Chain A
């Protein structure tokens, strides 16, 4: 059994899901955003994610985001040289962010978060990656379908095929090396995973790491998805147990809250084996449906949660 690797964190605190970011957004308070960036840089993040999109608590129009980026990006760069990760599905956001981003003030390449099969302007987004010498996060959870359509990747083979296609395009069309490519294999809430997505993500990383042509690519997940809907006193442990298992499969990055401990737990921590067993229970056996296996996984996750009583 290989030892867990260290996880490099892309700091997610600049996101309106966090109250501090939301307050800063509502006041268009660049100092508030600078504080969040500096806090994360000080904690050693690999990159600072910049997501100022709307949430259930706050409406944000695309034009508002784009209008604020010329104030926000230089302000963040004034307090840290940590690379920025621009997080939005729309190309206008990336164009606006890159127009004011100063490469000379960043100690590494900026990250485009993210490319996916369903993106309307995928070709143009890949063009931005090339033109601005960016790293990029690639979603493996969506597959390419004939006729320019896209669909969900609901098995590791489809996710792997997506990764291969993106890597091929990014190397040949955007001049990227595999080190520039960070694959998000997909991560569902483990307690509501009726498609088996957590196992699909792990298996996708295993397929990719076994492929010598993909050597050097990185893997990242949105960690806060994983334990969604579980008791707060178990969440961190579940997340860290997942990191232990996922790091064995190749995970080396996570979009996460740097104020929480995002180190994998030691192999011998009991929750690691408990989670491994729950995920094994979530695999389809016999002629059952994927949903039936997902229900069984949920039951095991419930057992794990119940074994760690509220403090």
Chain B
């Protein structure tokens, strides 16, 4: 019988082949897909995020764990799509780097960790205008919007996006978070963001809290 704690541990160690094998085995035993996802994969990735935050794990280890997570998710994805109505994702996050800015390494790390935490992540890429965020949020019914910037010259565009989103009555429930090397809490408050993520694990924690708040 598959032990979820073992999947958690193998995911933590980045053993993609074994995570994939045990994910298949759990399904073959008749375990519900949402149980395998939550107790096998998401719970394992949660520990990775926690340990990364406290420098117990380092960036390469997080990437290798994310690869293992993806290997397990690839097994579950067809089933998750089929049962989407009964097992919705924790939330849908639209995320991108703002117009004029082509940097995305930190954003990509947030994407990996948010996916690992059970969110549906829609990464719209770099150099994105406000309209692209709005279009993606509408198209995917997202309630979370994340923006990244690395340059102080592109940071102000985050406010443009926030103002545009706030001007759409149908997007009133969308929570907006910002992050990136030159971005800080003071700036995020000034431009009216709902949250600020100083790093990938903290960003995911913030998204989880947003979902709890409703």
Which of A's residues lie within 8 Å of B, judged by CB?
53-60, 62, 88-90, 118, 120, 141-142, 149-152, 188-189, 191-192, 194, 228-231, 292, 294-295, 298-299, 301-302, 305
A183 to chain B, nearest CB (A): 17
B210 within 8 A of A: no
* Residue pair B186, A191 in contact (C-beta under 8 Å): no
Which stretch, B30-38, B85-93, B101-109, B137-145, touches the partner chain A?
Answer: B101-109
Please report the C-alpha to C-alpha distance between residue A149 and residue B62 in the assembled complex, in whole angstroms: 34
**Contact among B127, B153, B186 with A89 in the assembled complex (CB-CB below 8 Å):** B153
Residue of chain A at shortest CB distance from B180: A56
Please report the C-alpha to C-alpha distance between residue A94 and residue B212 in the assembled complex, in whole angstroms: 46
- 25 A-B pairs in the complex with CB atoms less than 8 angstroms apart: A54-B182, A54-B184, A56-B198, A62-B152, A89-B153, A90-B152, A90-B153, A120-B100, A150-B102, A188-B105, A189-B105, A191-B63, A192-B62, A192-B63, A228-B59, A229-B59, A229-B60, A230-B59, A295-B63, A298-B59, A298-B67, A299-B64, A299-B67, A302-B61, A302-B64
Please report the C-alpha to C-alpha distance between residue A55 and residue B155 in the assembled complex, in whole angstroms: 11
**Contact among A53, A189, A302 with B182 in the assembled complex (CB-CB below 8 Å):** A53
CB-CB under 8 A from B151, the residues of chain A are 89
CB-CB under 8 A from A228, the residues of chain B are 59
A55-B184, A192-B60, A299-B60 provided; 13 other pairs, C-beta below 8 A?
A: A58-B184, A89-B151, A118-B101, A149-B127, A150-B127, A192-B108, A192-B109, A230-B58, A292-B67, A295-B63, A295-B64, A298-B63, A301-B60
Produce 1/0 per residue, B1-43, CB < 8 A to A. Answer: 0000000000000100000000000000000000000000000
Please report the C-alpha to C-alpha distance between residue A118 and residue B60 in the assembled complex, in whole angstroms: 29
CB-CB under 8 A from A152, the residues of chain B are 102, 126
Please report the C-alpha to C-alpha distance between residue A231 and residue B109 in the assembled complex, in whole angstroms: 18
* Residue pair A118, B105 in contact (C-beta under 8 Å): no
**Contact among B64, B101, B182, B186 with A298 in the assembled complex (CB-CB below 8 Å):** B64
B76 within 8 A of A: no
* Residue pair B127, A295 in contact (C-beta under 8 Å): no
* Residue pair B64, A59 in contact (C-beta under 8 Å): no
Residue of chain B at shortest CB distance from A57: B184
Chain B interface size, as a band, is: 20 to 34
Residue of chain B at shortest CB distance from A228: B59
B183 within 8 A of A: yes
Please report the C-alpha to C-alpha distance between residue A58 and residue B151 in the assembled complex, in whole angstroms: 14
B160 within 8 A of A: no
Produce 1/0 per residue, B50-64, CB < 8 A to A. Answer: 000000001111111
CB-CB under 8 A from A294, the residues of chain B are 63
Please report the C-alpha to C-alpha distance between residue A302 and residue B127 in the assembled complex, in whole angstroms: 31
* Residue pair B108, A194 in contact (C-beta under 8 Å): yes
Question: When A and B form their complex, which 6 residue pairs have the shortest distance between CB atoms, in order from nearest?
Answer: A229-B59, A191-B60, A298-B63, A302-B60, A298-B60, A295-B67
Produce 1/0 per residue, B62-79, CB < 8 A to A. Answer: 111011000000000000
B84 to chain A, nearest CB (A): 25
CB-CB under 8 A from B64, the residues of chain A are 295, 298-299, 302
* Residue pair B152, A231 in contact (C-beta under 8 Å): no
